[in-house]
Amino acid sequence: MSEPTGTAHGPGRVLVSVYGLFALAAGARAGVQLATKFSVAPIAYLLSAFAALVYIGATVALARSGARWWRVALVCCSIELAGVLAVGTASLALPEDFPDATVWSDYGSGYGFVPLVLPVLGLLWLRRTRPDR
């Protein structure tokens, strides 16, 4: 019996769950931050919202099959890796601009560095599930 292929199957099932979890966590957190105290740290909260959108995009794209969704997932995971590296570095270099943490601050240390590891796992998984052309 052959396993179904595609980004949502096998180990990808668990990967999509972790992405979904971060989409939920980052989305809810950004929603609360933007709704209740946007003026405190607008840059950090907008970054939180952006991170949430990237996680939602990656979750949906990885959960779907087909070459088009594979490419969307590749874009999302790439933005995610660039984002966590850029925001992580910026939050350490300019701590005064990040008075309140985002999911990507300090390379995601507030979330057990999962935000740093997740895009790497995502990109490795996408390499393994690259659709045939």
Partner 1 sequence: MVDGLATAVTVVALVLAAWALIEVLRGKAPHRPLLIGVAGLEAVLVVQVIVAVVKLVTDRVPDEPATFVGYLVASLIILPIGYFWAWSEKNRSATGVVALACLVIPVLVLRMNQVWDGVGGV
Binding residues (CB under 8 A) for partner 1: these are: 3, 9-14, 16-18, 20-21, 24-25, 28-29, 32-33, 35-36, 100
**Closest separation between CB of residue 133 and partner 1, Å?**
26
Distances (CA, A) of 81 to 35, 118, 124: 27, 8, 12
Residue 86: how many CB atoms within 10 A of its CB? Answer: 12
Q: For the chain, how big is the Rg over CA atoms in Å?
A: 16
Cβ atoms of residues 23 and 52 within 8 Å: yes
The residue among 13 and 71 lying less far from partner 1, judged by its C-beta, is 13
**Closest separation between CB of residue 11 and partner 1, Å?**
6
The residue among 28 and 43 lying less far from partner 1, judged by its C-beta, is 28
The residue among 11 and 95 lying less far from partner 1, judged by its C-beta, is 11
